[in-house]
Amino acid sequence: MAEQRRLVVCASHSPGMERDTERVEGTEFRAGLARARDLVTEFDPELVVLFGGDHRRAFRTVVPSFAVSLSAGIIAEGNHGPAALDVPYGTARNLTEHLLTAGIDIAVCRDVDLDHAFAQPLRDLLGAVDARPVIPVAVNCATAPLPRAGRVLALGRAVANFLDDVGARVLVIGTGGLSHSPPSLEVDAYELDDDERARLIAEGSEAARTKIRPDWDRAFLTAMASWDTDRLTELTDHAHQDAGAGANEVRTWLAAGAAGGGRSLRQLVYQPVPEWITGMAAVASA
């Protein structure tokens, strides 16, 4: 019965999607994302658990493999100003206790400022970052060494066990990927100011357009559809070398899928979008 009260949606994100204010790029992906939003609206979640990565914004000098936020906000970015997230402190605190008891060593964060990895899926799927109570769970996808896929799956399964006893409709989101290699993540530098980040992106954006790997993306989506954890583990642990630095973000998809109970996640859409330097996709458990 618990699984029937849980919806999983995983979707790519990209700052380029928001820069495209005329909505002329990635039209297939936008249509698939709209279908995902319809599923979320029909499901009407009472709580959101959001697995997201960090683009070396919130976590730079100290980088936990996994971190549960007890309070959090969204940074000003692109066309959006700063905003507060509605984090249910008691539930988030209980989740951290559960994870530690289950043998998952996680960090606890307060007043952490998160970027578009968390903001974009909340806006795209729910309409606003504060539309529903949300527990942000950060998964290190950017700063080596990264958690192995097996450990990410263990995190997700432990969250699933916690959600079994939560008397609410829970939307579980994984955000990021698929294949892409942002210039700002290709450098092994943890302290990039906005000017340096912008310079790297401007100088490397043309080359980044050529780094989408549709074959890898389709293999990953096929493994998600059958929830083949052996194949997902193999693809994820070799994502960086086979599909670019940004492909490491599929760890959030693994965590979300496991937290949803390890069910088949059917493909809603896949479209390589060179303008956004990313293989864009969305999957859902419904």
What residue segments make up the domains of the chain, in order of their start? Answer: 3-284
Please check the confidence at residue 44 and state whether its pLDDT lies above 80. yes
User: Does the active-site annotation cover 180?
Assistant: yes
Please check the confidence at residue 1 and state whether its pLDDT lies above 60. no
User: Does the active-site annotation cover 116?
Assistant: yes
Please, which pLDDT band fits residue 239 given cuts at 50, 70 and 90? very high
Structure tokens at 210: 């050529």
- 235 and 223 Cβ atoms separated by less than 8 Å: yes
Structure confidence at residue 190 (pLDDT): 62
Among candidate residues 13, 55, 98, 180, the one labeled active-site is 180
Q: Looking at domain 3-284, what is its CATH homologous superfamily?
A: LigB-like (3.40.830.10)
Please check the confidence at residue 2 and state whether its pLDDT lies above 50. no
Among candidate residues 13, 55, 116, 240, the one labeled active-site is 116
Residue 187, CB-side half-sphere exposure with 13 Å CA sphere: 14
Q: How far is CA 285 from the centre of its chain?
A: 16
**56 Rama class: left (phi>0) / alpha (psi -120 to 50) / beta:** left
Please check the confidence at residue 115 and state whether its pLDDT lies above 50. yes
